[in-house]
């Protein structure tokens, strides 16, 4: 079995950014391979600029990759974003990974003066422009929003910036095959849906003469307990508390994962149980899905030193998998 690269979503939201940086430092010491932050605006549980926090993490770490899961691309100016990720990549010696999606929250788009109806087309255009800005010395370009005349991004990234494209629709999968190094499926898709998605990505890549994707990343929420029963109780409590705001806002990922009883909601979407059960789940994701990069978000009621201990135990157990 090829070595699984293990990542962790950092704590986010609120005024204390330093706790996230400290946890990233701890994650690197525990053997995690990557750390991740998301983006939302007007949410108490997210920050509006994950790349800014990741720059602080870059200054305190040496090895872990620094990724966005997910940056909402149609809310970003692509020229500014190209420069920001060039800086992050150069600052971190090539450890930056740009994970992007098209977003879904219409009030969020309205707050930033963006048209949610155009988000797919804007994302496609931005991905193509990012690639040109990073790889060409001079870029000339025109659309309804901007004109570039022999424009040179400065600095350009010394190391390539991998782009992992999220989403669950057929258009998102085509976008990932066309523009990305990987498809980055969301955490609410079932194992079967993820398997079909990865296969579709490779089919689209083959049709355009590209090899199969070298990366198969996946995000999973992990609820780890002393026993399976305790973990399931914590998972139920977590789902009820954490999903409330997203359900009110109409998050399609959370809406899908909130249908039916608890068993059906947890099935194939969340990694729930004691350490042995959770490691068995990870092994299944590697053997049945071919996951190369697993990004875990620890859920439940723990915090502080208990959360760090849980992170360390999980990493050690996954590393010990045969």
Domains of the chain, by residue range, sit at 1-162
The domain 1-162 is classified under which CATH number: 3.40.50.300, 3.20.20.30, 3.40.50.2000, 3.40.1350.10? 3.20.20.30
| H-helix segments, 2-63 | 18-30, 50-60
CA distances from 253 to 13, 143, 270 (A): 20, 32, 13
> Each residue of 214-226: pLDDT tens digit?
999 999 999 999 9
Q: Give the CA-trace dihedral at 133, 136, 138, 140, to 10 degrees.
A: -60
**267 pLDDT above the threshold of 90:** no
Q: What is the pTM of this model?
A: 0.94
Question: Facing residues of 141 across strands?
Answer: 148
**300 pLDDT above the threshold of 80:** no
Among residues 286, 277, 319, the alpha carbon closest in space to that of 218 is found at 286
> Each residue of 31-79: pLDDT tens digit?
999 999 999 999 988 999 999 999 999 999 999 999 999 999 999 999 9
Q: Would you say 45 and 254 are in contact if contact means Cβ atoms under 8 Å apart?
A: no
Residue with tokens 């350490």: 275
> Each residue of 126-153: pLDDT tens digit?
999 999 999 999 999 999 889 999 999 9
Q: Is the peptide bond before 197 cis (omega within 30 degrees of 0)?
A: no
- Higher pLDDT among residues 303 and 133, named by residue: 133
> Which whole number is the average pLDDT over 277-294?
96
> Which whole number is the average pLDDT over 309-316?
96
Give the rounded percent of residues in the chain with a pLDDT score beyond 90: 81
> Each residue of 80-91: pLDDT tens digit?
999 999 999 999
Phi/psi of residue 297, nearest 5 degrees? -120, 110
Q: Would you say 183 and 164 are in contact if contact means Cβ atoms under 8 Å apart?
A: yes
- pLDDT attached to residue 176: 98
- pLDDT attached to residue 284: 93
Q: Of the given ranges (138-152, 176-190, 295-309), which has the lowest mean pLDDT?
A: 295-309
**9 pLDDT above the threshold of 60:** yes
- pLDDT attached to residue 278: 95
- Higher pLDDT among residues 142 and 246, named by residue: 142
């Amino acid at each position: 079995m090829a070595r699984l690269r293990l990542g962790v979503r950092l704590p986010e939201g609120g005024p204390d950014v330093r706790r996230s940086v400290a946890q990233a430092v701890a994650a690197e010491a525990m053997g995690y391979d990557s750390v991740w932050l998301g983006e939302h605006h007007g949410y108490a549980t997210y920050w509006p600029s994950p790349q800014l926090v990741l720059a602080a993490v870059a200054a305190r770490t040496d090895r872990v990759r620094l990724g966005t899961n997910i940056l909402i691309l149609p809310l970003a100016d692509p020229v500014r974003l190209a420069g920001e990720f060039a800086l992050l990549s150069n600052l971190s010696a090539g450890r930056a990974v740009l994970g992007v999606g098209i977003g879904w929250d219409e009030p969020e788009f309205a707050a930033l003066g963006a048209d949610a109806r155009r988000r797919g087309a804007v994302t496609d255009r931005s991905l193509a422009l990012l690639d040109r800005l990073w790889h060409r010395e001079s870029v000339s370009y025109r659309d309804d929003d901007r004109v570039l005349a022999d424009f040179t991004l400065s600095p350009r990234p010394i190391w390539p910036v991998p782009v992992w494209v999220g989403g669950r629709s057929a258009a998102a999968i085509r976008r990932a095959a066309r523009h990305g190094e990987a498809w980055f499926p969301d955490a609410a898709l079932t194992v079967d849906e993820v398997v079909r998605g990865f296969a579709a990505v490779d089919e689209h890549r083959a049709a355009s003469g590209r090899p199969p994707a070298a990366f198969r990343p996946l995000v999973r929420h992990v609820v780890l307990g002393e026993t399976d029963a305790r973990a399931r109780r914590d998972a139920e409590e977590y789902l009820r508390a954490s999903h409330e705001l997203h359900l009110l806002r109409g998050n399609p990922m959370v809406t899908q994962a909130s249908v039916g009883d608890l068993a059906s909601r947890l099935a194939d979407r969340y990694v729930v149980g004691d350490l042995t059960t959770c490691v068995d789940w990870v092994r299944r994701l590697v053997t049945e899905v071919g996951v190369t990069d697993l990004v875990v978000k620890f859920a439940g009621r723990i915090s502080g030193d208990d959360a760090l201990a849980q992170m360390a135990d999980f990493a050690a157990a996954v590393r010990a998998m045969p």
